[in-house]
Structure 1
């Protein structure tokens, strides 16, 4: 069975597209065992369903056609199973396919339901949502003038969709704040680049994976080659924070870039074709570089597969806060040409047999989000640099302001870099 896109916890939806929280498999409807088909049908329940159908047709205040009622029935059946199983009409199915290619319309936010409340799972990097300061765990109370209480995820997504250039107002409630706030966003075409890289300090690289798309594995390999062009790295930070997941094969490929052997992930379900296992290939891009993996509550699904594999294989130190806990696999089962069924068919497990579902990945080193604050200088202190004719340091300069700003604004990243440097110091002392 071929692996295909997609999916990024909860039915995640990006504004302008359905973003599924998942490691997702695409397959035709699987064959059902004969013993299941031979079971007696629940005649009384089927008769009750037919009676409800007929009463709605006859007595509902407005006329409803048969096709609409049947589609609503399918949605109802699936919505009561778990948050990730759903019926995809033509529009939602097309949105899903667009999402895996990395381009869609909207404001770049992923949402889900928590305790019945529409909640931000994560804002996507470099989108209106992230630029406006929206954060994971923000509760969305209203979309423009419509309260979100009682809305399904699909209905909420439809309200948030719109043409590029149009505005949308979200009323959000943030943990720790006493009153809601309004955030106005302008919709745009979202073209996501799933992999970014940079040099944090001489010899120390930074690799950001914001989601797992079809080509993410290739992009990670390219980025690692660029980072090591001038020589091997002394350490690397792999940033999976606020990464909602995506294509299963892409997650396997990213983990494989750091592993020479061993299992990466396996899945278990009721159907024979839902039981899969993935292993690392010996051809590895970065098998030896010291590694710190950053995660947080917005890291889900495929991101948890990567973090869990690297943690179980003792390939890197996982740092940050506990991940989201999305550990189920969905299959996309086409229904004709334009519609599909997205059904949870398996759970995935880390190499040591851990189920991430509703548990998440616990970091090896917990570092909460924070910000380094520089103490204000009252102007009364005298330093060597204030003395007339003072000697300059051997290099005569300091590290770039951009890097210093990044460390000040991102405490977790700064701590990851400090840990890599400490590991290198310990390694040198052992020699």
Structure 2
């Protein structure tokens, strides 16, 4: 028993040291220390010792502890995870808009890698990898038994090297094998096009460090021929990214100091409000790019396009513009990722990505596992067809939306009492939009082209029709 007691104390010390290294507040740290589950840690020590003594092959202490940490995190929710040195480095590089790989956002479900969304114009996207695909084999290695970090590491590789993915897809009787050539993924997060005289199209594919500044540049480019009459902001299939970039993009269209989003969690530093102010959307001593906005950016009529692939940061932007009635939100319900992940560095250049808070729209609406419902529901095709997409509520261990039971209270208790410069509109029920009537037996029409602002894009066409209608109303004597 002496050995078990000693092992239990060692494990308690290891876990206690890990918690301290996460730099939680003194209060949270004290609470964790006083409620350390000694009996459960003793069980952990017994399992640890049994593996060390009796497992068929020798396993190092570091490997076992790493697996234990990974297991703790992966069973909390789909977005908390352990990052080894390579994964941590990839994460840091990825926020700058350049990294190596095949270009997919992934999660874990039933031990398989589940595709959340392919990143636009990457090898995975061009090969037809779809949201909801389950990757069960990477080259000759079965995914079952790998952690998400290990699976992602296998999908990374040198540019021009090949990788074979074996995929299970709903509706397909047989597995699909896809061979991809890895490349350096340089994500151009903002694209734009003047689709018609006076009507601009702005596409954001992800929220990176420089996305806010890029949005301002593209708005200026769109305005060069003359003031815009209308603007379509396309956030479809945008998996999200950096919170400060979402705040910066929102600041380009809303009055200064407007409340954009708020976060709430257990730790005191998880409770925060983010406004359309440089302190919240800039990092360091960078130039305030919002000062370069064209004059009409905050008044031009807008439609925001969303779908089930719009997640996280893109939902923050859509929710803020919807709450202030700054834009009409059109499309289908968004992904529903309303949680905030904090990256906490650990010794050895590793880290954990831990869900620390939920975020809320300016009117106090929680998006978690619910998403943003569009003001006008328009499916992807004229006959009502839309791609079936994975959503947050479909993921194992997803956080529940804890405000659904009292949505009126959530609105009444909005995170801030804005001054007149950032007054919030009264909360109102969202009108349902037009849907095309069709028989269930009709086949879905071909989905829109991947061409930027394609003329076959049904949702974009409807958005432009709405903007033209607004223009007619504004021009009436």
TM-score, normalization: structure 2?
0.73
Corresponding residue of 2:5: none
Q: Structure 1 residue aligned with 2:455, among 403, 407, 423?
A: 407
Structure-1 residue corresponding to 2:79: 84
The equivalences for 1:10-159 within 5 A come to 29-33=23-27, 36-37=31-32, 39-114=34-109, 117-159=112-154
Please say if residues 111 and 146 of structure 2, whose CA atoms lie closer than 8 Å, have aligned partners that are also in contact.
no
What are the equivalent positions in structure 2 for 1:411-430 lying under 5 Å apart?
411-429=458-476
Are 1:300 and 2:311 matched, yes or no? yes
Mapping of 1:6-405 within 5 angstroms? 29-33=23-27, 36-37=31-32, 39-114=34-109, 117-261=112-256, 262-281=258-277, 285=294, 286-336=297-347, 338-370=349-381
- 1:102 Cα shift? 0.8
Aligned partners of 1:204 and 1:233 also within 8 Å: yes
> 5+ residue gaps in structure 1?
1-26, 373-401
Distance 1:428 1:365, change over 3 A: same
What are the superposed Cα offsets for residues 86-117 of structure 1, whole Å, 9 maximum, x if unpaired?
Answer: 22111111011010111111111112235665
Change beyond 3 A, Cα 1:178–1:98:
same
Corresponding residue pairs, total: 374
Q: Which runs of 5+ in 2 are unaligned?
A: 1-20, 278-289, 384-449
Instruction: Measure how far apart 1:29 and its partner are.
Output: 1.6
Which digits, 9 at most, give the CA deviation of each residue in 1:381-418, with x for residues without a partner?
xxxxxxxxxxxxxxxxxxxxx9999112x222222222
The structure that is helix-richer by fraction is 2
> In structure 1, what is the Cα distance between the partners aligned to 2:143 and 2:46?
31
Q: For residues 155-186 of structure 1, what are the alpha-carbon distances to aligned partners after superposition, in whole Å with 9 as ceiling and x for unaligned?
A: 32123222211222233344444444332221
Change (3 A) 1:74 1:148: closer
Q: For residue 389 of structure 1, what is the aligned residue in structure 2?
A: none
CA distance in 2, matches of 1:358, 1:114: 16
> 1:136·1:242 contact (CA, 8 Å) conserved in 2?
no
Alpha-carbon distance in structure 2 between the residues aligned to 1:68 and 1:40? 27
- The aligned residue for residue 414 of structure 2 is none
Q: Deviations over 1:63-89 (max 9, x none)?
A: 111111111111121122111112211
Cα contact 1:137–1:174 (8 A) shared by 2: yes
Q: Which structure has the higher relative contact order (CA within 8 Å, separation 6+)? A: 1
After TM superposition, give the deviation of residue 329 of structure 1 in Å. 0.7
When the two chains are superposed, the root-mean-square deviation of aligned CA atoms in Å is 2.4
Q: Given that residues 101 and 157 in structure 2 are in contact (C-alpha distance below 8 angstroms), is that contact kept between their aligned partners in structure 1?
A: yes
Equivalent position SS for 1:190: strand
Find the residue that maps to 1:427 and give its secondary structure. Answer: helix
**C-alpha separation between the residues in 2 aligned to 1:213 and 1:155?**
24
Following superposition, the deviation at residue 149 of structure 1 comes to: 4.5
Give the number of the structure whose residues are more often strand, by fraction: 1
